[in-house]
Chains A and B, each alone.
Chain A
Amino acid sequence: GAVVSQHPSWVICKSGTSVKIECRSLDFQATTMFWYRQFPKQSLMLMATSNEGSKATYEQGVEKDKFLINHASLTLSTLTVTSAHPEDSSFYICSPRGLAKNIQYFGAGTRLSVL
């Protein structure tokens, strides 16, 4: 089956620093990448959708300048949380989808703690 690698699984950073989260699809080409955010005891909330080579489309209320998404290749997408603050502490999950496989796969998630 398809494998998605999301790294790091857990990161702690100081307020004001930037954190980059990587998501790789290991055995298929991800033409579309979804990024989700999950608060404790809440649903996964879609943050943005990106298609390879295009700018990401952000959901309402998600700051595009704070959450920078790069989907430059069919196997790698990154989410950078810029100038992180404690309220950005959350669980971030990537979800790649490929045209050749008509289901959506999910990374194991990254827990971000901002001190």
Chain B
Amino acid sequence: AQSVTQLGSHVSVSEGALVLLRCNYSSSVPPYLFWYVQYPNQGLQLLLKYTTGATLVKGINGFEAEFKKSETSFHLTKPSAHMSDAAEYFCAVSDGGDFGNEKLTFGTGTRLTIIP
């Protein structure tokens, strides 16, 4: 079984400050890891994903995440927050099975607020 824990249901940062959203996972097999963003009244959009290879993954809008197996973590970061980053962020894990049918297990989400 897989699970995802997102520490902090709400995170507030000042505009221009570092964004750090935490995600820890558990998985009995090598995981595939994802970060999704959800803006108000929109569907989840893929920010970035880790499958294999380089552990530092770069995504859209300046976000990146690093897969740390020893810490079972996949924290999301952005060096400088922008007002447009305000949204709900979801971390997810899958078992990397037969692509097209693997199931995603989501965290509870972190609402990011940007302070002007």
Contact = CB atoms under 8 A, between A and B. Distances in A.
Interface of B is mostly: loop
Interface of A is mostly: strand
28 contacts: A4-B43, A6-B43, A9-B41, A31-B100, A32-B101, A34-B103, A43-B4, A43-B106, A43-B107, A43-B108, A43-B109, A44-B90, A44-B104, A44-B106, A46-B104, A49-B101, A93-B44, A97-B100, A99-B100, A102-B100, A103-B46, A104-B46, A104-B104, A105-B43, A106-B43, A107-B43, A108-B42, A108-B43
B43 A109 contact: yes
Interface string B15-54: 0000000000000000000001010011111100100000
Q: How large is the interface on A (under 10, 10 to 19, 20 to 34, 35 or more residues)?
A: 20 to 34
Contact of B99 (A41, A102, A108): A102
Nearest to A57: B101
B20 to A, nearest CB: 21
A66 B26 CA distance: 31
Interface of B: 4, 9, 36, 38, 41-46, 49, 90, 99-101, 103-109
Contacts of B99: 102
Contacts of A49: 101, 103
Contacts of A106: 36, 38, 43-45
Nearest to A94: B43
A4 B103 CA distance: 19
Contacts of A43: 4, 105-109
Contacts of B90: 44
A115 B99 CA distance: 40
Contacts of B106: 43-44
Interface string A9-44: 100000000000000000000011010000001111
